[in-house]
Structure 1
Amino acid sequence: MNSVKWFIRILLMFFLSHFSFAADTITLDHFIQDNNDEVIVSAGNIFALGFFSPATSTTNRYVGIWYYQIPVKTVIWVANRDNPINDASGILRIDARGNLALFQGNQTLPVWSTNISTAGSGNSFAQILDSGNLVLLQNDTGKELLWQSFGHPTNTWLSHMKIGFNLRTGLNQSYTSWKSPDDPGVGNYTFRMNPGVSPQMVLYKGSVPVWRSGTWTGKMWSGIPEMAQNFLFNDTFVDTDDELSFSSDTISASLITRYVTNETGVTQRILWNNASQSWSISYTAPNEQCDFYGHCGPNGCSLKWKRNSCEKTI
């Protein structure tokens, strides 16, 4: 009798530990299915990963990350943005190669995958973090980072994310608008870092520059005078042989904010207002006619845009 109780106790402990481990993770044994409305949620209940349909769309299904406790459904990252599933048969799981992969029904080829080569694939797992980063880790090598969504952003730039280049790997972290509120596919506008003698952040429509930040002064971008009165963010510019990047992290974890490059052709800093339970826009670029690239005016530039020339007056 004691042996039976011991076995039941061990079995219960196993299931409880498995449940706890799986709350924010996808493993070989724990996957999520669209038809069960399953999600995984970060440890602090900040972000969720699961299936969704954007705005008025009722058939196209995507895997995305959104704020878990904010009542307004706000998606900050999309996996299969150009390859929607048209029913609720989607399954997100770890595949035989150790990649996080999205499958439709019983199909053998994935709709989307992290698509990296891994060793010891049986021990890899995916985890959603409180930062909003989805990571693929290798458990038998001390939880080595294999892949992260922060390295493959869509239209949203969060704290602890970067815009720029890993000059060793060639990874370019840029932000591309959705096609429309109903379609998270790659849109017309891209916000990225331009390398060179005087790096700048530039908003493009296709290959045409729409707006630029100006050069880095050591404390701020010369074309964004609002940064001179910044008391909420820790801004970091890195220009080394290995990395060219910029990040803007919140000083307080209670401040919920995001940058979005949207389908209307602007990039915006947006803050969550707890009192009104809504998002409010704190900064927009371009904001007025003089902000547009190539526009003539007292604060604009009438010359052809080049690095090291035609700096915006502030």
Structure 2
Amino acid sequence: MIMNSVKWLITLLLVFFLSHFSFSISADTITLDHFIHDNNDEAIVSAGNIFALGFFSPGSSTNRYVGIWYYQIPVKTAVWVANRDNPINDTSGILRIDARGNLALFQGNQTLPLWSTNISTATAGNSFAQILDSGNLVLLQNDTGKALLWQSFGHPTNTWLSFMKIGFNLRTGLNQSYTSWKSPDDPGVGNYTFRMNPGVSPQMVLYKGSVPVWRSGTWTGLMWSGIPEMAQNFLFNHSFVNTDDELSFSYHSINASLISRYVTNETGVTQRILWNNASQSWIISYTAPNELVFS
């Protein structure tokens, strides 16, 4: 009787350990064997419980999208959307690694994806996707030392996070710009784009369609000339890169506990928004254009 009890306890502990271990190693990743099904309300969460990746419906919409949002903030706030112009109208969506090694979104039993990372160098069975504490979703190749194949930071939607860039990779031609949603209920590509304009004096420019409505002014070495508020800002570090390989601008919070984001929204403004723990709400700390700056 005692021996049977001991065996039962060992078996119970082993089952618990294995199930817990399996969850822990896959909690932030999608592999060939571990995928996300909308019907099961599944998501993956970054190692530090900062960001989550899964299915959601924005605003009052019933359409389903794959997105990234802040995991611990009670107001579900999407910072990136995969299928922004290809919504799913039910909960049959599956996000998985496909036969070519890409991260892909499928609806029901359809064989063609609604969205995919579409990397030709991915290898079947040897890639996996991971959500990082930075909010970056990465596709990695296992058999090449976890080489980076693709990242959501290179394909932004309407939100600019710490360590993300706005600008160009001049070697690959990648243009990292931010485009508004159509509405709070529709994350489809909207009318406003916030991007870097190259040239002798590069500037960040907000466009409505093809028409510029605001410019940052030129880079002085410390700040953009059209944003004098930067001179009194001690919350962020900024990085401006202008080389033969790259033209970009990025920022990051000096205080790691400060949750901030820039959003180019459907009303035609770009705002810096901070999370206020006391009020449990987002507050706007900067808006552009607060005046038109052309130089």
Scaled by the length of structure 1, the TM-score of the pair is 0.86
- Measured after TM superposition, the shift of residue 13 of structure 1 is 8.1
User: 1:101 & 1:255 partners in 2: Cα distance?
Assistant: 32
Per-residue displacement from partner, 1:10-59 (whole Å, max 9, x unpaired)? 995898388556100000000010010000000000000000011xx343
User: 2:180 & 2:186 partners in 1: Cα distance?
Assistant: 10
**Which range is displaced more, 82-91 or 11-20?**
11-20
1:135 alignment counterpart: 138
- Measured after TM superposition, the shift of residue 159 of structure 1 is 0.2
- Measured after TM superposition, the shift of residue 230 of structure 1 is 1.4
User: 2:151 & 2:8 partners in 1: Cα distance?
Assistant: 41
- Measured after TM superposition, the shift of residue 147 of structure 1 is 0.2
Question: Which SS does the other structure have where 1:228 is aligned?
Answer: helix
Residue 64 (str. 1) matches residue 67 (str. 2):
yes
Give the direction of change, closer, same or farther, for the CA distance of 1:268–1:13 in structure 2 (3 Å limit): same
1:150 alignment counterpart: 153
Identity %: 91
User: 1:103 & 1:109 partners in 2: Cα distance?
Assistant: 7
- Measured after TM superposition, the shift of residue 87 of structure 1 is 0.5
- Measured after TM superposition, the shift of residue 121 of structure 1 is 2.1
Question: Which SS does the other structure have where 1:121 is aligned?
Answer: coil
- Measured after TM superposition, the shift of residue 156 of structure 1 is 0.1
- Measured after TM superposition, the shift of residue 287 of structure 1 is 1.3
Give the direction of change, closer, same or farther, for the CA distance of 1:6–1:275 in structure 2 (3 Å limit): closer
- Measured after TM superposition, the shift of residue 261 of structure 1 is 0.2
1:20 alignment counterpart: 22
Per-residue displacement from partner, 1:73-123 (whole Å, max 9, x unpaired)? 100000000000010000000000000000000000001000011353211
User: 1:119 & 1:268 partners in 2: Cα distance?
Assistant: 36
* Contact 2:31–2:128 (8 Å) recurs in 1: yes
**Which range is displaced more, 144-153 or 2-11?**
2-11
Give the direction of change, closer, same or farther, for the CA distance of 1:183–1:58 in structure 2 (3 Å limit): closer
Question: Which SS does the other structure have where 1:103 is aligned?
Answer: strand
Per-residue displacement from partner, 1:160-209 (whole Å, max 9, x unpaired)? 10000000000000000000001000000000000000000000000000
User: 2:4 & 2:98 partners in 1: Cα distance?
Assistant: 40
1:257 alignment counterpart: 260
User: 1:155 & 1:168 partners in 2: Cα distance?
Assistant: 24
Give the direction of change, closer, same or farther, for the CA distance of 1:188–1:48 in structure 2 (3 Å limit): same
Structure 1, unaligned runs of 5 or more: 289-313
Residue 31 (str. 1) matches residue 35 (str. 2):
yes
RMSD: 2.6
User: 1:120 & 1:167 partners in 2: Cα distance?
Assistant: 26
* Contact 2:102–2:122 (8 Å) recurs in 1: no
- Measured after TM superposition, the shift of residue 274 of structure 1 is 0.4
2:202 alignment counterpart: 199
1:78 alignment counterpart: 81
Question: Which SS does the other structure have where 2:224 is aligned?
Answer: coil
Question: Which SS does the other structure have where 2:125 is aligned?
Answer: helix
- Measured after TM superposition, the shift of residue 8 of structure 1 is 8.9
User: 2:20 & 2:172 partners in 1: Cα distance?
Assistant: 36
Aligned residue among 229, 233, 246 for 1:230: 233
Per-residue displacement from partner, 1:242-293 (whole Å, max 9, x unpaired)? 00000011111100000000000000000000000000000000114xxxxx
* Number of equivalenced pairs: 287
Question: Which SS does the other structure have where 2:153 is aligned?
Answer: helix
* Contact 2:80–2:157 (8 Å) recurs in 1: yes
Give the direction of change, closer, same or farther, for the CA distance of 1:259–1:217 in structure 2 (3 Å limit): same
Give the direction of change, closer, same or farther, for the CA distance of 1:18–1:98 in structure 2 (3 Å limit): farther
User: 1:189 & 1:279 partners in 2: Cα distance?
Assistant: 22
